Structure 1
């Protein structure tokens, strides 16, 4: 499989931002898992299939992080252009949820985003 790849040495809560020009899989993984990915072995990753750009990933722990943007599949390759960079920690930015994330993850994210702009009643002065 063909893919785009970039490595970053990052601290907890830094943000990786990836811009893609077509819907594709974007994976964020540590060095060990990237090695397994290249060998076609089972690997663990954050991310998934994204239809919109930019894709943001808030780093959960300090490590060397690998960003992989897949260029289709072996049987159905596609042209993908992408770029990525690192943003400083920002408490208002959350990781983008993949469209192929489990339903409970997408529902929890939607509920959290919906309530993010509202203050609890006790703080509204009611």
Structure 2
């Protein structure tokens, strides 16, 4: 992820939304979210989500599903909510890293200098 930002000339602090892999496991979700929180340290909150809550875990095809989600988000201007999220995992340091799960349809806004919304996607797959 660091290399991707270096190649674009952008800073992780410019990201407007984080699409997490979010395996739904007690250990996996905090490990991913807290690692991402360290990478995206910021003085403002950042929205986070995962397509898995909307359509399930698609294993190796979860990354393309996330891409489709964000294609639709950019078309509509609305980030879909994380459905069925009732209680955020207490092992994730939500407040420390200013991570906020999207729990209702939310307009995507840009805070980058070029006016384009910046989304980061994490994904794990086979191989």
Same fold (TM over 0.5): no
> By percentage of residues, which structure has more strand?
1
* TM-score computed with the length of structure 1 as normaliser: 0.30
> By percentage of residues, which structure has more helix?
2
Which structure has the bigger radius of gyration? 1
* TM-score computed with the length of structure 2 as normaliser: 0.30
